[in-house]
Structure 1
């Protein structure tokens, strides 16, 4: 199994502010994709649509200000069954976000693409919580033919 791991620190947001951006439909639409729908509570499924496709994530666990856990239930074959975890912690004036996309069967080329896209969306999340404006899809940075 292979995993995607990233870390960012937000300068002006509390863990609660970052948590809201990860656990509300409006928050998610503000940094990942504007076409976000569904239920963001535990047991709910959130749908994220992009060009050329999308993902559905089941919310597995929410610990306010600390942890968000999802499981991919629909999407590209490589994603289905993988888990996405967000761990939040305060470090001085910063909120640290530890991101994990766990359980890839193998490090295929699509995983390389997704790792880069996750990094760009994490920067969008950072921008949203620090300035109030992210750059979600379709305003995100395009990096390849997979979008």
Structure 2
């Protein structure tokens, strides 16, 4: 069973790509973020409405690789029987370079079609990896925005 993986190539330096993953998560993934993600041992919380996750940085090699371990997860989807299936998965970011630029390869180790949430999570990662690429190329990503989501929810009431 193949785990979710996606690569992007950008013109940014490896250090800029590493900084986007360690210091600018709220600029491309979710602005509902607390904690740190810059060095081994750091932990952070991230949320998308009632979907909440906690990660620990278990490996950090500047400009080359960073690994997040999911410690806690609650995926707020009624259809899911197992709302914490991300727990124990590892999110591995690998940075390399070639003549075309800096290549960022993302592997969500453990996230495969055996997971109930796979289709939704795959679509989510596709969206947020595109957001990360936009952040790196234009300086502006399309993260989940807590305030915007609250306003949209209130408008629907």
- The answer to whether TM tops 0.5 is yes
Alpha-carbon RMSD: 1.7
1:50-69 superposed matches below 5 A: 50-69=48-67
Q: How far apart are residue 53 of structure 1 and its match?
A: 1.5
Say whether 1:5 aligns with 2:5: yes
TM-score (norm 1): 0.85
Q: How far apart are residue 93 of structure 1 and its match?
A: 3.9
The 2-side partners of 1:14 and 1:136 are apart by: 22
The 2-side partners of 1:2 and 1:81 are apart by: 17
Contact 2:128-2:143 at 8 Å conserved across structures: yes
Q: How far apart are residue 58 of structure 1 and its match?
A: 0.4
Structure with the higher fraction of residues in helix conformation: 2
Partner residue of 1:112 out of 119, 138, 141: 119
Contact 2:28-2:143 at 8 Å conserved across structures: yes
Contact 2:9-2:100 at 8 Å conserved across structures: no
The 1-side partners of 2:47 and 2:97 are apart by: 31
In the comparison of the two structures, how many residue pairs are matched?
136
Contact 1:2-1:102 at 8 Å conserved across structures: no
Contact 2:91-2:109 at 8 Å conserved across structures: yes
3-state SS in 2 of match to 1:20: helix
The higher radius of gyration belongs to 2
Gaps of 5+ in 2: 75-83, 150-157
